[in-house]
Amino acid sequence: MWTRYLDRMLSHLVRQGELRVTFPDGTTRRYGTGQPSVAITLHAPSLPRRLVLTPHMALGEGYMNGELTVSGDDLRALLDLITRNLSRNGLPGFQRPLNGLRRMGRWLQQFNPASRSRRNVAHHYDLSAELYDLFLDADRQYSCAYFTRPDMSLDEAQQAKKHHIAQKLLIRPGMRVLDIGCGWGGMALTLARDYGAQVLGVTLSTEQHTLATHRAHQAGLDGQVQFRLMDYRDVQGPFDRVVSVGMFEHVGVPHYRAYFNKVHDLLTPDGIALIHSIGRTTPPAATSPWITKYIFPGGYCPSLSETMAALERSGLGSTDIEVWRLHYAETLRHWHDRFTANEAKARALYDDRFCRMWRFYLLASEFTFRNAGQVVFQMQLARRQDAVPLTRDYLYPAGADAALAAE
């Protein structure tokens, strides 16, 4: 029975590109035509049922656990084919009630009080520090890079991202800046070293806090940068600027109003905030259950409509909203290629299953940006309409590219 339902699902789904599936009973069927052409084998008898009932979870777990194998281990082609067809054709009608149940439960999954936020952060960001060295740039920027030229290296594009954000913040020496979700400290250190700011970075990750503090000391910036292990909700202002890169995805929809209210209260009357977050160009939905279980518990990439609904009640105004489309896809391609080149080292830290999980995460994320309407929103916010210039000319000063290339 479940093989028949899976056959119906794949017949509806796969139209662009060809998918050849060998089922647990040994039969092989073809779906779609053209390129890419991908062949997979389902080894576990339970996998057809799980793919029908929970396709996102079953696909990820099946690959992680070796229950689903791809010819030539060409996971890139498989995920390109799947995401491309999902965005165009969707799942068949009998899947809609199951998707509805997922959406109904998303508020509970995204309920992130301080104690739960700490556990969620530790799940991902307190992994071995050596793991992140295997695929991130030298500054450990674990967020979307900004490829102002297609030939940029990952390190150059991450530098460009930080300086683009600094331009939007209009930072002057001596300004007090709060970095919410400061990661390993790269943004805070850049704002202090290159722009003369006094920066407070906050994180819930003990690993990030330890390394960021060490980096500030090594750079001789102890007097300009502080890092604290604390929840943003406990920070006291005021600050001239607030920046948050890659943290809003962990706030949770039930907390958006409180988040924007807090940013408003932390800013001086003429202050500016820059919120950099993954988002979606599609209507509000639910996070993939596989991502929630294995990668980012409590995480969610919002649509602009649900973000603005909370922002508009906070007293903050949106002075600029920029949409980055394929920049994160390119960032993830670099991360995947670096991780693959160092996979033997990752296997020594963890095991084969972890490596398959991490590759699936990086590639699934890349093709969600390429094919499924996922983007990055940069929201520049202020309490006053005249806090920033009325045109974008200030973002692109003459000679900026040459100066960046010389770094």
Does the structure show a pLDDT above 50 at 195? yes
Give the confidence band of 373 by pLDDT, cuts at 50, 70, 90.
Answer: very high
Residue-wise pLDDT tens digits, 264-316: 999 999 999 999 999 999 998 888 999 999 998 888 999 999 999 999 999 99
pLDDT at position 396: 87
Residue-wise pLDDT tens digits, 22-46: 999 999 999 999 999 999 999 999 9
Contacts of 378 (CB under 8 A, 6+ apart): 165, 168, 274, 275, 276, 320, 321, 322, 323, 324
pLDDT at position 273: 98
pLDDT at position 402: 47
pLDDT at position 15: 94
**Residue at token pair 């009080």:** 113
Nearest 5°: CA angle at 143, between 185 and 337? 115
Instruction: Report the DSSP beta bridge partners of residue 228.
Output: 202
**Reported pTM:** 0.92
Q: What is the mean pLDDT of residues 199-217?
A: 96
Q: What is the mean pLDDT of residues 137-146?
A: 97
What does pLDDT average to over the chain?
Answer: 92
Distance CA 160, CA 179 (A): 18
Residue-wise pLDDT tens digits, 179-191: 999 999 999 999 9
Distance CA 271, CA 11 (A): 54
Contact 227, 182 (CB under 8 A): yes
Q: Which two tokens stand for residue 148?
A: 């102002």
Nearest 5°: CA angle at 38, between 35 and 41? 165
Does the structure show a pLDDT above 80 at 209? yes
DSSP 283: P
Considering the chain, what percentage of its residues have pLDDT values greater than 70?
89
- Which domains does the chain show, CATH number per domain? 2-104 (no CATH), 114-405 (3.40.50.150)
